[in-house]
Amino acid sequence: MPRFDDPTAPRGPIGDHIWPFLAAIATSSNDAIVGKDRTGKVTYWNAAAERLFGYPASEIIGQSIRRIIPPHRIVEEMSILDRVGQGEHLAHFETERITKDGRTIPVSLTLSPILGHDQTVIGISDIARDLSETQHFNGVLQQREALLSTILDSNPDGLVVIDESGMIEFFSRAAERMFGYGAAEVIGRNVSMLMPEPYATAHDGYLRRYRDTGQRRIIGIGRVVAGRRKDGTTFPMDLQIGEANVPGKRCFTGFVRDLTDREDRDRRLAELQAELMHVARLSELGQMASALAHEVNQPLTAVANYLRGMRRLLDDNSHPLLRQGLEKVAEQAERARGIVGSLRRLVKKEEHPRTAEDLEALVIETAALVLAGKNRRVALSLDIASDAQIAFVDRVQVQQVLLNLMRNAIEAMERSPEQRLKVSAQAIGERIEIAVTDTGPGLSDAVRARLFQPFVTTKAEGLGVGLSICRTIVEAHDGQLTVASEAGKGTTFLFSVPVNPPAPAFDLPT
């Protein structure tokens, strides 16, 4: 590039105006602009080049460009001179240069040939941009990305990020290990692939409802749900959902903890099971004590009376040992009656607090407990009406009823070719009617007539108190537990729970 006061610069009506304009641009540019001839001798050096390389123009013009070329870049510079000297343009060519104080700095070069009047290459223009800050920023960014990646990879909890439509955008290493998929297999696909039914079908509806209404029913709330691995097996997991807003889009983060083989799983499931079974144990003991007192007291009384009658038939002086033995047996029969009565008095019903509960969440959590970790072929479907979302119940007791009915339904379908379990709920007046339906073999009329009686069971190892307890719980909620069954087609258990708390009782003035 000729110097701007060079006599070879273009002149004439156009050149006289254009050339000073171009000179002003080059002088004020923030990029270093260097002109050199085809041998590498510096012919132009603007103010930005002075600041970048440390050489004033008066010191560098006329000198070889090699003064700022690192020794290991000399061959590269010779190649550049040759290529651009033949008319080639090079853009964003990253290399290194040496400053006057000896520092090696990264630069990005744009190199163009300078043409003479006869269109032959008479020099080369270098536009150099310092990459030090850019590389420093990129280095810091890479370090942060590496740190974040390391943190995510070392976190035992899986992280899944989805967009508003449910498509997976990020899948951590822990998530890969947990679900058995590689990130490349799931990114760009719907997150429902990681869920068993009925969660998979219902998931997009949850997203749409959130987008349409803004109701944050799942954001920031931990819940136990079921996940589906690549091999089709299901497992219980603790799911925490968050929302993130990035420029131009909104996404959702799901932190997933596998509860299958961890102490947290054992503790969490144990807590849930303990809550569910606590009422069951108390109710079961009460039912057993009541049934035992009713069924056993009369035979024990009869035994005691017969024994005393037999003792009186004996002469006072005959068979003293036999009389003594009969008296001891009668005493033990009375003692047995006392034990049964004490057991019945020991177990007393307690009032449990009732609260407004999300019925759908209650059913989903119960289903996760019933199905998690079991290699079953059961297809579960939920149909919770929009007006049947909230019920005013004792959460633990109603979950115990659902757990018992769903578990019974699954066991009843073990040999059925089609195993479908449906849980539905609809509002009827001030109550919600819940139905648990299976496709098992159904119940005979004889079994159905005695089904809710204590100690009546269709299982070889069952105690026959589960449904009796369920009926007691439902009746405590002012409802009824009923059953409808058709041989060969399945069974449906129906019960209802209140929507609102009971009205307070007021004493009438006297």
Per the domain annotation, does 141 fall within a domain? no
Both 27 and 119 in one domain: the answer is yes
Task: Write down the pLDDT at residue 463.
Answer: 39
Query: What pTM does this model have?
Result: 0.42
Per the domain annotation, does 3 fall within a domain? no
Both 110 and 178 in one domain: the answer is no
Per the domain annotation, does 436 fall within a domain? yes
Q: What is the pLDDT of residues 396-426, one digit of tens each?
A: 888 889 988 998 899 888 888 889 999 999 9
Q: Enumerate residues 6+ apart whose C-beta is below 8 A from 428.
A: 496
Both 337 and 251 in one domain: the answer is no
Q: What is the CATH number of the domain that holds 237?
A: 3.30.450.20
DSSP assigned state of 488? T
Per the domain annotation, does 7 fall within a domain? no
Which of 259, 274, 302 marks a domain boundary? 259
Q: Residue 204 pLDDT > 90, yes or no?
A: no
Per the domain annotation, does 38 fall within a domain? yes
Measured CA to CA, the distance from residue 494 to residue 14 in angstroms comes to 95
Measured CA to CA, the distance from residue 383 to residue 453 in angstroms comes to 30
Which of 91, 115, 131 marks a domain boundary? 131
Both 23 and 126 in one domain: the answer is yes
Please give the residue that has the higher pLDDT: either 53 or 248.
Answer: 53
Both 404 and 310 in one domain: the answer is no
Q: What is the pLDDT of residues 225-265, one digit of tens each?
A: 889 999 999 888 888 888 887 777 888 888 998 887 766 66
Buried b (16+ CB within 10 A) or exposed e, 423-446: bbbbbeeebbbbbbbbbbbbbeee
Both 465 and 417 in one domain: the answer is yes
Cis peptide bond N-terminal to 454, omega within 30: no
Which of 97, 131, 165 marks a domain boundary? 131
Domain limits for position 124:
15-131
Both 457 and 394 in one domain: the answer is yes
Q: Residue 301 pLDDT > 70, yes or no?
A: yes
Q: Residue 342 pLDDT > 60, yes or no?
A: no
